[in-house]
Amino acid sequence: MNPTQSADRLPLPKVLVLGTGGTIAGVSTAHPAQGGYRAGVLDIAQLVEAAPGIELLAELHAEQVASIDSKDMRPEVWSKLATRIAQWFARPDAVGCVVTHGSDTLEETAYFLQCVLVPGKPVVLTAAMRPATALSADGPRNLYDAVQVAASPDAAGRGVLCALHGRVHGACDVTKAHPMALDAFTSGERGPLGFVGPQGLQFTRNHPGEKPQTLSVPSAGNWPRVELVSSHAGADGGVVRALLQASRSGALQPGLGGLVVIGTGHGTVHEDLQAALDVAESAGVRVVYASRAGMPQGGAYDGLNAVKIRVRLMLELAAQAKG
């Protein structure tokens, strides 16, 4: 008899699976061998059902948090996720949590959760590059692997993780680097934290990236405005001056709290843009520099990319505003 079918088997680890939509829940709008599809159509129970054997890995509690294309991710969904995950982990018998997500903003949600959740039990995000109805859909394997990671004691204490195309990435490093390849995600030169698949789970690197002091989730209506601006040939600061003016006049609500600058090289900035940024800074706007060339590990924001720095800055500014 298969040990998993034995009457006296050990209880399975309890894993919460939260659905938010994305391509993993997408349905083809044309022939399944062709590209057109709509993201976020299937619900999380249907995704679990489509991953044969997943029920032998864990006792799954599937819940729908949202059904969106992740390009439309917004703070309300982040707040719901953080609240539900914190509630789940308050149960002493809760072992892990999986979040299914669109691939486009997965790295932002992963980093948001990394900032606001108390470290400990594993939270694992996953996605797919092909919709659920495609030929060779990658979602079921990715979901299965994410549950393998979330149910594993070895994954605990490593921060928020992402299980994608056989690799386990940390929330700080992971980024989407290709619009359609199945291995669309990378952790850059640092490489993934490990591998997961038919052979099980193996971590090959320990450092999951810097975990900031746990930050609170801003309450509704109290998310600060942090915008991204970039430096490039001819960047003259006009966008920054327009934002500042709209903010001062009250036309922009909430007003401008911070700017993340996607600079060149080491985070360097065109002199004309810099002049406008200096004015913004002296008006009380927090200005943080990232780079379009990628940042090395270390420093105030530990090599985070610009969209993750934006997440962090929103949370830090909200914490400061609360006092």
Ligand X SMILES: NC(=O)CC[C@H](N)C(=O)O
Q: What angle do CA 248, 289, 190 make, to 5 degrees?
A: 145
The answer to whether residue 114 forms part of the interface with ligand X (CB under 6 A) is no
Backbone angles phi, psi at 80, to 5 degrees: -60, -45
Smallest distance, ligand X to C-beta of residue 109, A: 10
Residue 118 CA, distance from chain mean position: 16
Which CB, 23 or 152, lies closer to ligand X? Answer: 23
Nearest to ligand X by Cβ — which residue?
A: 102
Residue among 23, 109, 126, 186 flagged as catalytic: 23
Span interacting with ligand X, options 65-73, 82-90, 195-203, 289-297, rule CB under 6 A: 65-73
Span interacting with ligand X, options 42-50, 69-77, 139-147, 220-228, rule CB under 6 A: 69-77
Peptide bond just before 122 cis, omega within 30 deg: no
Interface with ligand X (CB under 6 A), residue from 15, 39, 161, 259: 39
100 belongs to the catalytic site: no
The answer to whether residue 96 forms part of the interface with ligand X (CB under 6 A) is no
Span interacting with ligand X, options 64-72, 139-147, 159-167, 302-310, rule CB under 6 A: 64-72
Interface with ligand X (CB under 6 A), residue from 16, 17, 19, 22: 22
Which CB, 24 or 295, lies closer to ligand X? Answer: 24
Smallest distance, ligand X to C-beta of residue 234, A: 30
Residue 102: closest CA among 165, 44, 23 = 23
The answer to whether residue 23 forms part of the interface with ligand X (CB under 6 A) is yes
Query: What type of residue is 229?
Result: V
Interface with ligand X (CB under 6 A), residue from 102, 192, 209, 303: 102
Smallest distance, ligand X to C-beta of residue 25, A: 9
The answer to whether residue 109 forms part of the interface with ligand X (CB under 6 A) is no
Which CB, 69 or 302, lies closer to ligand X? Answer: 69
- State how far the alpha carbon of 18 is from the alpha carbons of 176, 210, 241, 290, in Å: 21, 25, 41, 32
Smallest distance, ligand X to C-beta of residue 129, A: 5
The answer to whether residue 229 forms part of the interface with ligand X (CB under 6 A) is no
The answer to whether residue 104 forms part of the interface with ligand X (CB under 6 A) is yes
> Which string of b and e fits 85-103 if b means at least 16 CB within 10 Å?
beebbeeeebbbbbbbbbb
Interface with ligand X (CB under 6 A), residue from 28, 100, 103, 274: 103
Residues 6+ apart with CB under 8 A from 281: 287
As a 3-state breakdown, the chain gives helix, strand, coil percent values, each rounded to 5, of 30, 25, 45
Span interacting with ligand X, options 96-104, 139-147, 191-199, 252-260, rule CB under 6 A: 96-104
Binding mask 124-153 for ligand X (x = CB under 6 A): ---x-x------------------------
- State how far the alpha carbon of 89 is from the alpha carbons of 10, 108, 121, 167, in Å: 21, 21, 7, 25
Span interacting with ligand X, options 100-108, 115-123, 224-232, 306-314, rule CB under 6 A: 100-108
Q: How many CB atoms lie within 10 A of CB 164?
A: 29
Q: Which helix (H) or strand (E) holds 90?
A: helix 75-90
Residue 15: closest CA among 64, 60, 62 = 60
CA distance 62 to 90: 17
Question: Which are the catalytic amino acids?
Answer: 23
Q: Which residues bind ligand X (CB under 6 A)?
A: 22-23, 39, 69-71, 102-104, 127, 129
